[in-house]
């Protein structure tokens, strides 16, 4: 085995080597490991912050999506209400126009009826004057003619049941 001197030499060499390694290698390695540990911790913190921000943005986006959907529903509802109101206004206007047209048509019919009666009255007056002239054989004056016409028309009205 090894002698005491060899062992003492090995022990001193080992101690010197340990001091040299501690001074020149251990400090930089420890410093490098500390820096690496700090960098890893910073990266983990950054990743955690980024994940938190991403989650907050996702929640914000989800809330905005819900608001957008609510706005879309509101817009569609308003459009439906406006459409229904316009439809009702168009229907009401059409009903009013139909009523006006019906009233005008009734007035036109009444006017045409009155015109037809006046025309018939004039035709009857001319016919009765011609008949009277032939029967009597003379010309009637205006008053006699009017009285004859009125009497004839009254007789026609009584026969028809309208007078």
- 4-39 residue pLDDT tens: 888 899 999 999 998 888 888 888 888 899 999 999
Q: What is the pTM of this model?
A: 0.41
Decide which of 132 and 7 is more confident.
7
CA distances from 140 to 52, 125, 153 (A): 119, 12, 18
Sorting pLDDT into bands at 50, 70 and 90, what band is 137? low
CB atoms within 10 A of CB 129: 15
Residues 6+ apart with CB under 8 A from 129: 140, 145, 148, 149
The pair of structure tokens assigned to 65 is 């999506």
Q: Following DSSP, what letter does each residue of the chain receive, concatenated?
A: ---HHHHHHHHHHHHHHHHHIIIIIIHHHHHHHHHHHHHHHHHHHHHHHHHHHHHHHHHHHHHHHHHHHHHHHHHHHHHHHHHHHHHHHHHHHHHHHHHHHHHHHHHHHHHHHHHHHHHHHHHHHHHHHHHHHHHH-SPPPHHHHHHHHHHHHHHHHHHHT--
In this structure, of 113-117, 122-126, 132-136, 151-155, the range with the lowest mean pLDDT score is 132-136
Sorting pLDDT into bands at 50, 70 and 90, what band is 78? very high
- 87-122 residue pLDDT tens: 999 999 999 999 999 999 999 998 988 888 888 777
162 has pLDDT over 80: no
Rounded to an integer, what distance in angstroms lies between the CA atom of residue 125 and that of residue 81?
A: 65
79 has pLDDT over 80: yes
CB 128 within 8 A of CB 148: yes
In this structure, of 48-62, 73-87, 134-148, the range with the lowest mean pLDDT score is 134-148
157 has pLDDT over 70: no
């Amino acid at each position: 085995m090894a002698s005491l001197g060899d062992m003492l030499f090995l022990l001193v060499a080992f101690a010197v080597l340990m001091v040299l390694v501690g001074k020149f290698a251990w400090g930089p390695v420890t410093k490098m490991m500390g820096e690496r540990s700090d960098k890893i911790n910073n990266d983990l913190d950054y990743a955690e912050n980024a994940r938190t921000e991403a989650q907050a943005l996702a929640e914000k986006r989800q809330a905005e999506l819900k608001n957008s959907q609510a706005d879309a529903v509101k817009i569609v509802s308003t459009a439906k209400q406006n459409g229904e109101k316009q439809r009702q206004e168009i229907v009401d206007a059409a009903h009013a126009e139909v009523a006006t047209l019906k009233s005008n048509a009734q007035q036109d019919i009444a006017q045409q009826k009155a015109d037809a009666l006046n025309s018939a009255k004039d035709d009857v007056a001319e016919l009765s004057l011609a008949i009277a002239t032939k029967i009597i054989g003379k010309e009637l004056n205006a008053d006699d003619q009017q009285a004859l016409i009125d009497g004839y028309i009254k007789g026609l009205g009584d026969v028809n049941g309208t007078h």
